[in-house]
Amino acid sequence: MDDARALATAMARSGIAADLMVIDDLARSPGAVPDAPVYIIAEPQGVATAAAWRAIARPASLRRTIVWGPNVTAGDIVALDNLGIGYVTKAGPRLDPLLRLIGVIDADYLAASRMRVTEAKAVAHSVFQATAAAFEMFGSMPTFDRDFYAGLSQDFSRQVETTPLYLLIDAISRNQDTTIQHCSLVTTVAVAFASHLGLSGREVSRLFTAAFFHDIGKSAIPKSVIDKPGRLTEDETRLMRSHVTVGHEILSRYPETAGEVAEVALHHHEMLDGSGYPQGLRGTEISDLIRIVTICDIFAALIERRSYKEPLPAREAYDIIVGMGPKLDQDLVGAFESVAFSVA
C-alpha cells in the first residue's frame, strides 16, 4: 500500500487523481467501486490481484488501471492484456518524471511480449525434452521405470504451459549455457537417486523441481565469472556465492517454487559440519531434500567439462564425494554409489 500511495502522490503532482482501494474489501461489497480517473494495483507481480479486480470492475475502470511492480515480465504483460488492464509499468527507485514511468500497453509492445513468451516456452520445452532423454543413462538400474520418467517429464511440460516455470528456465538458459546443462544433469541424477531410494512419486516430483532450479541464481552472475578459467578473486567468489540468495529470492516469488524448492536453492552449498554457506547450517538443520540435491550437485559438477577443468570419470568423482566425510550424509553417499557407477 505504501508503494501505491507513493505513486498516487507522484501522480497528484501531475494533476491526476488516483483512488487507492483494497481489492479484497471491494470484492466483498459488489457494486461499491467508486469512479476514479485512475486505479492502481501495486504488487510484486500484480496479475492475481488484477484478475480479482476484473471480477468487480467495469471495463472502463480496467482501461484506467495501472499495474505497478518491480517484476513485471513479458508473461505478465500478455496476461494483463487478456484481463483488459490498460497500463503497466515497472517500479523503480524514482517515480518522476511520471509520464516516462507509465506507458500504455500498445500493439507493438504487446506483440513483442507475446513473441517473447512463445520463445521462452519453446526454450523450456526443449530443455525438458533434453533432460528427459538423459534419463536413459540410468536404464541399466533395477529401479529404472521408463513409464514413470516419461510421465514425470510430461507433467513438467504441462506446467510450462500453465505456470511461470518457463520464465525461470528461460532466465537460466539465456545467460548461461553451462548452468542450464548443469541443472539438467543434476535433475537427471537426482531423480535416478530418488527412485533408487524408493521415494514416492510426489517426493520425486518435488525433487525434480528443486534440483532443476537449484542454481537459478547464477542467471544473475556474469558469464565471465561463471566460466572463468582461472581461480576467482575474493570479490568474484563473493559474487559467485551470492547466487544462492538471489536464487532463493527469485523462486520465492512464485507459488510453484516457493518454500522447499526455494530453500534448496538457498542451502544446497551447506555442509553437515557447518563449513558451508550462506548460513553455516549443521546436521539436522539441513533437510533430506537439500542433502540429496547437494550430493547430486557435487557429483554432476565433477563429471562435467568446464572451461577450467576436464571431466572426471564417475568412479573418481564418487571417491571424492566419499572423501568429503562428515561434510555430507554418509548414509546417502553410500546409497548413491550404484547411481554414480551407472553413469558411463
One-character DSSP codes across 289-307: HHHHHHHHHHHHHHHS-BT
pLDDT at 143 over 70: yes
Q: Which pLDDT tens digit goes with each residue over 80-101?
A: 888 888 777 655 544 443 333 3
pLDDT at 16 over 50: yes
Q: b/e string for 30-50 if b means 16 or more Cβ within 10 A?
A: eeebeeeebbbbbbebbbebb
Which comes out higher in pLDDT, residue 45 or 202?
A: 202
- 2-105 and 120-340 have identical folds: no
CATH code, residues 2-105: 3.40.50
Q: Are 318 and 195 spatial neighbours (Cβ–Cβ below 8 Å)? A: no
Which comes out higher in pLDDT, residue 243 or 222?
A: 243
Residue in 43, 126, 46, 51 with CA at minimum distance from that of residue 82:
51
Kind of pairing, strands 87-90 and 38-42?
unpaired
Using alpha carbons only, how large is the chain's radius of gyration in Å? Answer: 23
Domain boundaries, the chain: 2-105, 120-340
Q: Are 65 and 56 spatial neighbours (Cβ–Cβ below 8 Å)? A: no
pLDDT of residue 102: 42
Mean of pLDDT values over 207-214? 92
Give the distance, in angstroms, between the CA of residue 28 and the centroid of all CA atoms in the same chain: 33
Mean pLDDT over each residue of the chain, to the nearest integer? 80
pLDDT of residue 104: 46
| Count of other CB atoms within 10 angstroms of residue 21 | 17
pLDDT of residue 51: 85
Mean of pLDDT values over 14-34? 59
Compute the distance between CA of residue 62 and CA of residue 74 in angstroms, rounded to an integer. 19
Q: How confident is the model at residue 263 (pLDDT cuts 50, 70, 90)?
A: very high
pLDDT at 270 over 90: yes
- pTM for the whole thing? 0.68
3-state secondary structure of 227: coil
CATH code, residues 120-340: 1.10.3210.10
